[in-house]
Amino acid sequence: MNGLSFPIAILGYNVTHAKAPVELGYEPDIWHAGPVGGFLLAVLILVTAGEIGRNASRLLNFPEALGELMMGIILGNIYFFSGWGFFELLHTTPNIAVPADFGAIILLLSVGLRTDIHELFHTGPSPLLVAIGGIVATGGLGYLVGHFLLSDVSLNTRIFLIIIICATSIAVTVRVFEDMGRLQSDEARVVIGAATISDVLIFLTFGIANEMRDTEKFVAANMAVSAGILVGIIAAKIVIGMKFGKNLENAVNRKLSETMKVFIVVVTCLLLAYLAESAGLAAIAGSFGAGLLLRSVYLKDMDGEEYGLEEIVRPAYMIFVPIFFVYMGTKVGLEAFLSWNSAVIVISITAAAMLGKLFCGLCVVEKGVNRLVVGIGMMPRAEVTVALAGIGINMGVLSEYLFSAIIMVVVIVILVTPLLLRLVLSERQRVVEAGGPMPAYVSGETRKVNLKLKRLGRR
């Protein structure tokens, strides 16, 4: 291979077919790219793009998933806009979806580790009502969009679309509440609880829809198996926690070695992911359940300090989860949105996704909770939505166009929601500190509390 061969390959030619000059009499292997080499190069590109997108999002104070998705969208559409074909290897490299699938499994394992099922029993009825209200309202609006704008697609596709846009992202909202110093507020408590319940319900309905996709009929036995896995995991977590409580946790945390704990985490996650996938529920539902089960397990470092399993998962999370988001972004085809009809569909799905969740804020029954903050806090979509959309396109239920539309909806909602939430929280804080009238969207009980505090000189 002469000195120009490698630069030419990087500009889009196939490195495998580059030949050495005849006069050299041999073909050096230094730049020879076999299947493994192409796979490693594709992973390298995904990891690098994820890091660039993550840092850009941090710089602009947006969720990291947004930057990773945007980097994927850019890489996936360079060929369409410029004709430069180098990054097409992200579409053509065999098995490149495997690390992305691991990223989805690790992502939902991490979500499960952050979810406290027992805490939901102490949050009152509002989180459950908000979760159900958000799913019903968003599902209803999604049905109207599918009926009037997507009448040419199958019933299964419309059902999957409705389920996918009903999901909620906990991570995005938690980040905004943390930035505003409101993570311990009643609004944050309701939103986090409702988002957790919503995710569980979405996984259950997704499993049922998955069993219907071939026959378009209800098969009770198959759906019972699909739903029973996740319900069984949650029930086991609750029953074990209530019956054995701290004794079992202490026995696991004190008597098992750190190596055995890590082994249990890996085996449990992979086993439940496999069982969920085999039952038609989706592997990510199994990994989410594994996170729920293993949340109370702790490890110790060399100094005897305890830390949660999230610290063990973090290195894999930092590598594979960005790969997942970037890879999902590369599958978006922007050429599908060059027509007016396509833009109308994306706008309509976005409106259904946002307005449906905004409505669920009205389902809050506790006094003193800002219903508008709850509604906006339920709007973000990220990890679960993208993961389910990826499963949908892999199963052939979603077309490339609808998958691209869902990812664009995720991008738009992630961009808009943190800005709206910061605006509402900042406006409320500004009005209270200035002593002016409370905004119309603040509940009457909150008004009374703030008036009392102002009179006492505490505001």
Residue 15 and residue 163 in one domain: no
- Is 76 inside a domain boundary? no
* Cβ atoms of 428 and 370 closer than 8 Å: yes
- Is 75 inside a domain boundary? no
Residue 28 and residue 118 in one domain: no
- Is 261 inside a domain boundary? yes
Give me the pLDDT at residue 453, please: 42
Give me the pLDDT at residue 223, please: 55
For residue 154, the domain's CATH number is 1.20.1530.20
Give me the pLDDT at residue 240, please: 61
Give me the pLDDT at residue 222, please: 57
- Is 67 inside a domain boundary? no
Residue 134 and residue 11 in one domain: no
| Structural domain harbouring 247 | 96-455
- Name the packing angle between helices 97-113 and 383-395 (round to 10°): 140
Residue 165 and residue 20 in one domain: no
- Is 179 inside a domain boundary? yes
Give me the pLDDT at residue 117, please: 76
Give me the pLDDT at residue 289, please: 85
Give me the pLDDT at residue 329, please: 95
Residue 133 and residue 29 in one domain: no
Residue 132 and residue 248 in one domain: yes
- Is 44 inside a domain boundary? no
Residue 28 and residue 112 in one domain: no
pLDDT digit string (tens) for the chain, length 459 residues: 444 444 434 444 344 443 333 344 444 444 555 678 889 999 999 999 999 999 999 999 888 999 999 999 999 999 988 889 889 999 889 899 999 999 999 998 998 888 877 777 777 889 999 999 999 999 999 999 999 999 899 988 999 999 999 998 877 778 778 877 788 888 998 998 899 889 888 888 887 787 666 555 555 555 566 566 666 766 666 666 555 555 556 666 777 787 888 888 899 899 989 988 887 677 888 898 888 888 888 877 767 677 788 888 999 999 999 999 999 999 999 988 888 888 899 999 999 999 999 999 999 998 889 999 999 999 998 888 999 999 999 888 999 999 999 999 999 999 998 889 888 887 655 544 444 444 443 444 444 444 444 444 443
Give me the pLDDT at residue 9, please: 43
Start-to-end Cα distance in the chain: 75
Give me the pLDDT at residue 251, please: 65
Residue 132 and residue 279 in one domain: yes
Per-position b or e across 285-318, b if 16+ CB within 10 A of its CB: bbbbbbbbbbbbbbbeeeeeeeeebeebbeebbe
Instruction: Count the domains in the chain.
Output: 2
Residue 136 and residue 210 in one domain: yes
- Measured CA to CA, the distance from residue 49 to residue 56 in angstroms comes to 11
- Is 70 inside a domain boundary? no
Q: Which two tokens stand for residue 446?
A: 């909150």
Residue 9 and residue 121 in one domain: no
